[in-house]
Amino acid sequence: MEKKPDRDTSWGKVSQWYDTYLAGDDSYQMQVILPNLVRVLGLKKEERVLDLACGQGFFTREFAKTGAAVQGTDIAPELIKEAKKHGGDIRYDIASAEDLSFARDASFDTVVCVLALQNMENLGKVCKEVERVLVPGGRFVLVLNHPAFRVLKRSKWGWDEGGIQFRRVDGYLSAAKVFIDMHPGKGGEKIQTISYHRSLQDFFKSLAGASLAVTRLEEWISHRVSEKGPKQKAEDTARKEIPLFMMLEARKR
């Protein structure tokens, strides 16, 4: 008998909470990732865009506002249901990122994946499927929790005796499979998912293995400011020096 996976890596079980969270104005998605992505993408009217692992369609809808021909896909039917509730002339498909069989070869100019590759086990297979659906010269733009500084259970903030805040990293090169709580709130059912830590070279190798060449890299910091107090200056300095997110752009050869 085939052994079933011990956890589901989709965010479908917290779809309503996630939709409510993204409706706020102070999220990293709204204040950091969206404005940077809009700038980096520079989407043109009728550009064919696939929002891979689109969740409840937050970025999908924003991309569509540019006039691009945007389509969203996610493995979680609960999230696709939430996405459709928001309306708009956007097609959504339920599919694993490893099998985009709804899409023909070379059917998209751009594929975007925001904060989702870390929840996908077979990175190489995902990259090859992205390459398949991209036109020659098309781009794959992905946003990650920064793999060098945000290493689950192996990195944290600390303070030295001189009052400087630093980022401690206890492991980086070794890949890891980590169980994490999906819902930050207290009480209620404990819901977990799996996050896969990978180093930069892991991402570059998987992209290269799918004939996708990295053409751009950016690192994005937090927009938040610390509350007034003796640690404010040190915290704000550390926040500006150590990025939360990394963006990679890779082109189909």
Q: What is the pTM of this model?
A: 0.90
pLDDT digits (tens, 9 = 90+) for 92-131: 999 999 999 999 999 999 999 999 999 999 999 999 999 9
The pLDDT assigned to 17 comes to: 57
pLDDT band at 1 (very low <50, low <70, confident <90, very high): very low
The pLDDT of residue 2 is above 50: no
DSSP notation for 42-65: ---TT-EEEEET-TTSHHHHHHHT
**Which pLDDT belongs to residue 181?**
80
The CA-CA-CA angle for residues 76, 205, 60, to 5°, reads 30
Q: How far does CA 242 lie from the centroid of its chain?
A: 18
- pLDDT tens track for 5-21: 444 555 555 555 555 66
Residue-level pLDDT at 14? 53
Residue the block writes with tokens 């060098």: 148
Helix count (H) and strand count (E) of the chain? Answer: 8, 11
Q: How far is the CA of 183 from the CAs of 52, 87, 141, 246, in angstroms?
A: 22, 26, 27, 23
84 pLDDT band (50/70/90 cuts)? very high
Average pLDDT of the chain to the nearest whole number: 91
- Residue 203 above 90 pLDDT? yes
Q: Which CATH architecture has domain 12-145+199-227+244-252?
A: 3-Layer(aba) Sandwich (3.40)
Q: Is residue 4's pLDDT more than 80?
A: no
Q: 151-155: long-range contacts at Cβ-Cβ below 8 A with a sequence spacing of 24 or more?
A: 151/176, 151/197, 152/176, 152/178, 152/180, 152/195, 152/197, 153/178, 154/197
Report residue 25's pLDDT band, with 50, 70 and 90 as the boundaries. confident
Bridge-based pairing of strands 165-169 and 155-159 is: antiparallel
pLDDT, one tens digit per residue, over 219-237 is: 999 999 999 999 999 999 9
Does residue 154 surpass a pLDDT of 50? yes
Nearest Cα to Cα of residue 103 among 91, 121, 115, 114 = 91
Where do the structural domains in the chain lie, given as residue ranges?
A: 12-145+199-227+244-252
Q: Residue 63 has which token pair?
A: 């991309």
Tell me which of 35-49, 78-92, 131-145, 171-185 is least confident. 171-185
Report the alpha-carbon distance of residue 164 to residue 235 in Å, rounded.
8
